[in-house]
Amino acid sequence: MISVPYYSLNSFLTSKSTNLGFPNFPSPSPLNFRRNLTSSSTELAPIKANEASRMSSLKINSDESSGLIRHEVSVNGRRSENIVWHKCSVEKSDRQELLKQKGCVVWITGLSGSGKSTLACALTRGLHSRGKLTYVLDGDNVRHGLNSDLMFQPEDRVENIRRIGEVVKLFSDAGVICIASVISPYRKDRDACRAKLPEGDFIEVFMDMPLCVCEARDPKGLYKLARAGKIKGFTGVDDPYEPPLNSEIVIQQEGEVCPPPEVMAEKVISYLDAKGYLEA
Amino acid sequence: MISVPYYSLNSFLTSKSTNLGFPNFPSPSPLNFRRNLTSSSTELAPIKANEASRMSSLKINSDESSGLIRHEVSVNGRRSENIVWHKCSVEKSDRQELLKQKGCVVWITGLSGSGKSTLACALTRGLHSRGKLTYVLDGDNVRHGLNSDLMFQPEDRVENIRRIGEVVKLFSDAGVICIASVISPYRKDRDACRAKLPEGDFIEVFMDMPLCVCEARDPKGLYKLARAGKIKGFTGVDDPYEPPLNSEIVIQQEGEVCPPPEVMAEKVISYLDAKGYLEA
């Protein structure tokens, strides 16, 4: 039986037949459990006492070759604990292999009534029928849960998009094709979400529908309320929508007819297929 | 060609061969697009003008039989727009069928150094090797992204757990076996996360390790800092840990030896298997 600190997983991960012992009080050890470079598995490295004592003065002390990555540790500041990054033994590539797809974010942006939710539904249906795992994050629905503490002040709107950006990043990392359907009127906020994702994994779909069309549809009756002054700061009425400058996909009317949901969805699916997201 | 408002998806979803037209300006219509009770698909119902005008005085106006569920609409309050719930055409049960598993949350709670991350890693590895889709949400890692705006004041700690609870709920809804690894010291906060999930889908795993064992391990060197007074409010030192009263799984030392990671993981996997989470 080998005695190693409980947080060294390397032996376990590379050899299931090894029976690991777990001492009650692992004494400080000169052993170095940093990543075994001959192995593709991740090893969690013990932090030695002298490293711990250095933490109090370090702002950044990352070691990406180990399982623990320490940064922003400052005991004089308020962010003094729990600031360690844990790598895990199953990576994004493993999940993608399992799912036979690549995790990414389809970010649908546009005015209220422009058809974002309609496209999201048709897209999740179309991809699901092809055996792909998708998840729709609807801006409205997130307001009921994760972002239920946020109102509609400018700073809350920024935070609303920031959190959605963080969640779609997690889903993408999980290997899921995550479909976000959010007005997200400000270019800066959308671009901040894009910047969190690996290159290419943020696919912006702009629902480029004329305001008059969206307002005529008014599926939630909100334009009517906004025009009556009962809602303030409504996008397209008294708050701006900043159209994307370089979105990956633009959905527009053809002549004066909006494309049917399945046509819009197929446009996105074709893009995902061409870019290799529908295979591992 | 049938003309229907763009947000009526029912015909599209139930019959791919139907070519839907999308009028530019759908005029108010007496047609009722509420859920077709003979169909299992979801239909998005248009909201009529008189419904919209009623919104200003309604607090709750839910209609779960339609795709749009409106509540908490109050134009006198601050929460006046975007408060609509969108159902989508692919449901949790569809994703579970695809994945051959049931979405749920394995919530691992315990002191710093109790082995939460170790169990999370072994568990994700064990389940992945059985072809199951998992995702680990580590409290430390979330502090870098979604919760990077939060500090360690009591209200921030509550919000930290609340948001993680909302995210694991989304993952569970996506069909993923979501493994949360967070100290989560307060019973009330953990129970609030449990209450968000469908009955049985929140599986609490208590890492019931003696403080002296965790402190001797001290993998991040944080106990040392806490004892030296360089970290205030550290769980187990000068802030309480409230052990679960009825957790689904308890991990303890056997004699004076901690179980190896694979043994801990198997205990959880056996539970998931017995409860039917490893099949659709």
In DSSP notation, B23-67 reads -SSPPP--------TT-SS--PPPPPHHHHHHHTT-SEE--TTSS
Q: For testing the chain A interface, which of B76, B92, B220 should be mutated: the one with the most A CBs within 10 Å? A: B220
Q: Per DSSP, what are the bridge partners of residue A250? A: A206
What does the pLDDT read at residue B85? 58
Q: How many domains does chain B have?
A: 2
Q: Which residue of chain A comes nearest to B228, CA vs CA?
A: A53
Q: List the one residue out of B117, B111, B127 whose CA is nearest residue B223.
A: B111
Least trusted range by pLDDT, from A141-150, B47-56, B171-180: B47-56
Q: Which residue has the higher pLDDT, B8 or A78?
A: A78
Q: Range of B70's domain?
A: 1-89
Structure tokens at A232: 């303030």
Contact status, residue B238 vs residue B232, Cβ threshold 8 Å = yes
Residues B124 and B218 grouped into a single domain: yes
Residues B66 and B147 grouped into a single domain: no
Least trusted range by pLDDT, from B54-68, B211-225, B253-267: B54-68
State which of A20-29, A35-44, A167-176 shows the largest mean pLDDT.
A167-176
Candidates A89, A183, A230; nearest CB to B124: A89
pLDDT at A27 over 60: no
Contact status, residue A221 vs residue B55, Cβ threshold 8 Å = yes
Contacts of A24 in chain B (CB under 8 A): 213, 216, 253, 256-258
Q: Within chain B, what is the greatest distance between any pair of CA atoms?
A: 76
Distances (CA, A) of A9 to A18, A164, A276, B92: 11, 33, 33, 34
Residues A32 and A117 grouped into a single domain: no
Q: For testing the chain A interface, which of B76, B90, B263 should be mutated: the one with the most A CBs within 10 Å? A: B90
Contacts of B253 in chain A (CB under 8 A): 24
> Where among A36, A61, A89 does a domain terminate?
A89
- The residue type of A74 is S
Contact status, residue B162 vs residue B192, Cβ threshold 8 Å = yes
pLDDT at B149 over 90: yes
Cβ separation A78–B117 shorter than 8 A? no
Catalytic residue among B8, B11, B184, B247: B184
In chain A, which ranges are E strands? 2-3, 20-21, 60-61, 68-71, 84-86, 104-109, 134-138, 177-181, 202-207, 249-251
What does the pLDDT read at residue B89? 83
- The residue type of A151 is M
Residues A118 and A47 grouped into a single domain: no
Cβ separation A134–B216 shorter than 8 A? no
> Where among A48, A73, A89 does a domain terminate?
A89
What does the pLDDT read at residue B87? 61
pLDDT at A98 over 90: yes
Q: Does B279 map to a domain? A: no
Summarize the confidence of residues B107-121 as an average pLDDT.
Answer: 97
What does the pLDDT read at residue A87? 61
Cβ separation B16–A149 shorter than 8 A? no
Residues A238 and A105 grouped into a single domain: yes
Cβ separation A220–B84 shorter than 8 A? yes
Summarize the confidence of residues A122-143 as an average pLDDT.
Answer: 96
Summarize the confidence of residues A183-189 as an average pLDDT.
Answer: 97
Residues B194 and B258 grouped into a single domain: yes
ipTM of the complex model = 0.74
Contacts of A141 in chain B (CB under 8 A): 85-86
Cβ separation B170–A145 shorter than 8 A? yes
Residues A30 and A153 grouped into a single domain: no
Residues B75 and B112 grouped into a single domain: no
Contacts of A144 in chain B (CB under 8 A): 83, 85
pLDDT at B119 over 90: yes
Summarize the confidence of residues B223-243 as an average pLDDT.
Answer: 96
Active site residues of A: 184
Residues A139 and A4 grouped into a single domain: no
Please give, rounded to a whole number of angstroms, the shortest distance from the CA of A254 to a CA of chain B: 11
Q: Which residue has the higher pLDDT, A1 or A88?
A: A88
Rounded Cα distance, A173 and A156, in Å: 26
> Where among B52, B68, B89 does a domain terminate?
B89
Cβ separation B47–A219 shorter than 8 A? yes
Question: pLDDT-based confidence at B86, cuts 50/70/90?
Answer: low
Distances (CA, A) of A87 to A6, A60, A92, A152, B236: 16, 17, 11, 36, 25
Rounded Cα distance, B128 and B116, in Å: 18
Give me the percent of chain A exceeding a pLDDT of 90: 65
Residues A176 and A227 grouped into a single domain: yes
Contacts of A171 in chain B (CB under 8 A): 170-171, 174
Contact status, residue A206 vs residue A243, Cβ threshold 8 Å = yes
Contact status, residue A38 vs residue A31, Cβ threshold 8 Å = no
Q: Return the number of other C-beta atoms located less than 10 Å from residue A148's C-beta.
A: 12
pLDDT at A115 over 80: yes
Summarize the confidence of residues A156-164 as an average pLDDT.
Answer: 96
Task: Determine the length of chain B.
Answer: 280
Contacts of A136 in chain B (CB under 8 A): 88, 90
Cβ separation B88–A136 shorter than 8 A? yes
Residues A130 and A249 grouped into a single domain: yes
Q: Does B115 map to a domain? A: yes
pLDDT at A107 over 70: yes
Rounded Cα distance, B169 and B193, in Å: 8
CATH of the domain at B209: 3.40.50.300
Give me the percent of chain B exceeding a pLDDT of 70: 69
Question: pLDDT-based confidence at A31, cuts 50/70/90?
Answer: very low
Q: Does A279 map to a domain? A: no
For A180, how many CA atoms within 13 A lie in the half-sphere containing its CB?
Answer: 33
Cβ separation A115–B141 shorter than 8 A? no
Q: Does A280 map to a domain? A: no
The whole-model pTM stands at 0.75
pLDDT in tens, A225-266: 999 999 999 999 999 999 999 999 999 999 989 999 999 999
Per DSSP, the residues of A69-114 read EEES--TTSS--SS-EEEP-SS-HHHHHHHHTS--EEEEEE--TTS
pLDDT in tens, B43-83: 333 333 333 333 333 333 333 333 444 433 333 334 434 44
pLDDT at B104 over 90: yes
- The residue type of B102 is K
Torsion of CA A141, A142, A145, A147, to 10 degrees: -140
Average per-residue pLDDT for chain A? 77
Which is it for strands A177-181 and A202-207: parallel, antiparallel or unpaired?
unpaired
Question: pLDDT-based confidence at B140, cuts 50/70/90?
Answer: confident
Distances (CA, A) of A165 to A137, A170, B118, B153, B202: 10, 9, 28, 25, 25
pLDDT in tens, A46-92: 333 333 333 333 333 333 333 444 433 333 334 434 445 566 689 99
Summarize the confidence of residues B174-194 as an average pLDDT.
Answer: 97
Residues B5 and B119 grouped into a single domain: no
Q: Does B77 map to a domain? A: yes
Question: pLDDT-based confidence at B28, cuts 50/70/90?
Answer: very low
What does the pLDDT read at residue B141? 87
